[in-house]
Amino acid sequence: MRALKSERQLGEIDISQVKIDAKSRDDIPQILRGLQYLYMDKDIREKLFVALEKLIPAGIDKSNGRPGMSLWRIFVLGVLRLDLNCDYDRLQELANQHKTIREILGHGLFEEDHYYELQTLKDNVRLLTPEVLAEINRVVVESGHKLVKKKKRKR
C-alpha cells in the first residue's frame, strides 16, 4: 500500500488544484472540499498517513501496495462511504463515474479507464477499523480547532 504516488502522471491534476463547485448545495462537494483541505496542509496530511499506515498488515512491503489502491484512495473512499452513508454499490458508481471524486482520488486523463471493482472497494475500505478512524478523527478535530483559532486571530 502506498500513501500516494510519488510522481503525478501526465495529465493528472494535483489534488490541491481540483476545482470543486463552491455553489453546489449537495453534500459531495462539501466532503471533497474538506478532503482537499486535509490534503493541502502538509502537517495534517503527514499525521493522516501515520494513522493510515496502521492499515498495512505486518510483513507487507509498503512500497508495493494493494492493486489499484493507495492509502489516500482508501481514505477518500472510506470518508465518502461513511459521510454519505452509502453502500458499496453506490460507492463504486461514485468512484467510477464522478469526475471530481476521481480527481480527488488522484486519477489523471490517462486513467479514465481505471475501473474500481466492487470487491476491491470492499476489501480495501473495510480496512478502516474503528481504531484507525478514531485516530483520524482526532487529527481532523485538532486541525479544525487550529483553523478556528487562526480565523479568530485575523478578526
pLDDT digits (tens, 9 = 90+) for 88-142: 999 999 999 999 999 999 987 777 788 999 999 999 999 999 999 999 999 999 9
**Total structural domains within the chain:** 1
Contacts of 68 (CB under 8 A, 6+ apart): 114, 116, 120
| DSSP structure class, residue 17 | G
The verdict on residue 94 lying in a domain is: yes
pLDDT digits (tens, 9 = 90+) for 128-150: 999 999 999 999 999 888 878 77
CA-based max dimension of the chain: 50
pTM for this entry: 0.85
The verdict on residue 129 lying in a domain is: yes
The verdict on residue 4 lying in a domain is: no
- Spatial contact of 104 and 76, defined as CB atoms under 8 Å apart: yes
The verdict on residue 103 lying in a domain is: yes
Contacts of 117 (CB under 8 A, 6+ apart): 92
